[in-house]
Amino acid sequence: MTASAENGLAAIINYLLFIMISPFVKYLLFIGLKFLKFTMIWPITKAVSIGPTKKCPPIRNQMLMLSGSSLAHKIRTKQVTCVEVVTAYINRIREVNQSLNAVVEDRFQEAVKEAQAVDSLLASNTKSEDIIASETPFLGVPVTVKESISVQGMSNNAARSNVSEHRADEDADVVRLMRKAGFIILCVTNTPELCLCWETFNNKTGRTNNPYNLKRSPGGSSGGEAALLGAGASVIGMPSDIGGSARLPAMYTGGFGHKPTPGYVSNRGHVPTATDTHWNNFFTLGPMCRFAEDLPPLLSCIIDDPLKVKELKLHEPVDLKKVRVFYAEDEGPNSITSDKMCTEMRGAMRRAIHHLKVKYGIEAKKVHIKGLEDSLELSAMIMLRMKGIPNVFQKSENTPDEWNSVTLEILKRITCLSSATLPSILYAPAKCVADRVSDDYYKTMLLRKRDIMDQFQELLGNTGVFLYPTFPYPAQYHYQIFYNLMNTSYLAIYNVLEMPVTACPLGLNHEGLPMGIQVVGWQGQDRLTMAVSQALEKEFGGWIPPPE
């Protein structure tokens, strides 16, 4: 491909991206995706769905039904041995992974040895229970980690097609802190290539399935973590989130996923990372779990600075009767890109609102945040403008902004000669669009962002939460996300707004699939979103095992 041809293609893309700014063209794009849905993708996925629903084997070991905090208490008080707990989870992973395909690499032998060391320490009686609880609050509790987060000696490649293999030389900061808190790591879990999709599949490990229906997606990019959690094969997981990567999988599989306020949890040790100064504003690592009571202590464990833990007041109780609640059921009347919540999801949110009123006397207020209707545009344009993000086009591993021919790689993909996955290929055209919009337009986007943040700060302050859809529907069949991409704006906008969010389950729908919402707070108010999630867990059951 000659330079002039490349420039010509760039000019065409530039023009197309320019006209896409208009609401009319965005509406046409929305119609186009719907056309794609009903003429191509939907018939294929519907055909695949024909036949009996496939699910995971039922949970037989009741030890798997306990929270991480409860397990830690039972281990340090010698009600159960650490080896028993770790072995139970190893056996469950082995039982379900043949159906889920969630594990990239395990460290079961090392985990058993570490569990034996914990039991030896407890048998020595050299430390009191109180000291153990203070120094290592999750002593002996098994945990799983997303493969893109480095665990020393383990695979840490994020399924990159242009890098054959990469093993972590050292632990990521969050992994180091989890070990310090007493966690025992069992395995690293599957993710799409470069974490660039809301569906978890790649050309190295393959596709991960949803434990509530193996024909459905567990979401992405933390789908491996979510699949194990939903199946009861993990109690606590460590995902990452830059566009809902922890929250969508959590909702799809019935668990809790928390995106912390940026700046509290270190992102060091994640693949991919970026050199852009805004990366750590939008990208976060945070806890995913089956039981809401684990959220505050887990978040405390993975924050290295005690002063920052104190700032978040994670150990202080929340008086729910003093929490103000606001909500919205969609992006607003002027949104032309996203779908509305399906009937069952909307009903679940309304039952949650009713429960908060009856139980705590909270009169939730429906509000419209001006500008949320532009969530898709804001999220895409602002985050895609970041520089230094690893991709499949870069010339070398250390030069993410120096690319090989995009056109050639796309042609290779069309002719089935490329090993890269489609979402990682599509990053380039999207990046080209964002980079080619004018600086004035980009500044306008930043001003809109600031306006929305100001509205939220004034509305929520230090005492309010905002209930909002996670996604319009429960778990979709595999690959249906491709005609539902615009609905991910419900998630990605809060990465751009730099606000803490907890994905909270709200029971199962008529097909036995998890439903849920997002509980959003203003910056630094993570404890409020977690507290409201804990309150809703008591009413709706929180994580509910996949129906037999």
Q: What residues are labeled active site?
A: 146, 221, 245
Which stretches of 126-194 are assigned E, i.e. beta strand? 142-146, 184-189
Give the separation between CA 525 and CA 325, rounded to whole angstroms. 13
Contact 419, 203 (CB under 8 A): yes
Q: Which residues of 363-372 are buried (b: 16+ CB within 10 A; e: fewer)?
A: ebeeeebebb
Q: Could you give the C-alpha distances from 459 to 220, 369, 463, 492, in angstroms and in order?
A: 31, 9, 9, 20
Give the count of alpha carbons within 13 A of 368, CB side only.
9
Q: Could you give the C-alpha distances from 389 to 43, 172, 376, 384, 398, in angstroms and in order?
A: 35, 18, 20, 9, 10
- 3-class secondary-structure state, position 374: helix
Determine whether 20 is exposed, middle or buried from the number of CB atoms within 10 Å of its CB (0-12, 13-18, 19+). Answer: middle
Contact 58, 548 (CB under 8 A): yes
**Partners of 394 in beta bridges:** 403
Radius of gyration of the chain (CA): 23
Please give the full DSSP string across 5-52, using - where no structure is assigned.
HHHHHHHHHHHHHHHHTSHHHHHHHHHHHHHHIIIIIHHHHHHHH-SP
Distance of CA 217 to the CA centre of its chain: 13
Q: Could you give the C-alpha distances from 504 to 247, 249, 253, 266, 501, in angstroms and in order?
A: 9, 11, 11, 24, 9
Q: Could you give the C-alpha distances from 21 to 17, 377, 434, 453, 545, in angstroms and in order?
A: 7, 8, 11, 22, 44
Q: At what angle do helices 82-100 and 223-230 cross, to 10 degrees?
A: 110
Sign of the alpha-carbon torsion through 183, 189, 193, 199: negative
Q: Do the bridges between strand 365-366 and strand 288-289 make them parallel or antiparallel, or are there none, so unpaired?
A: unpaired
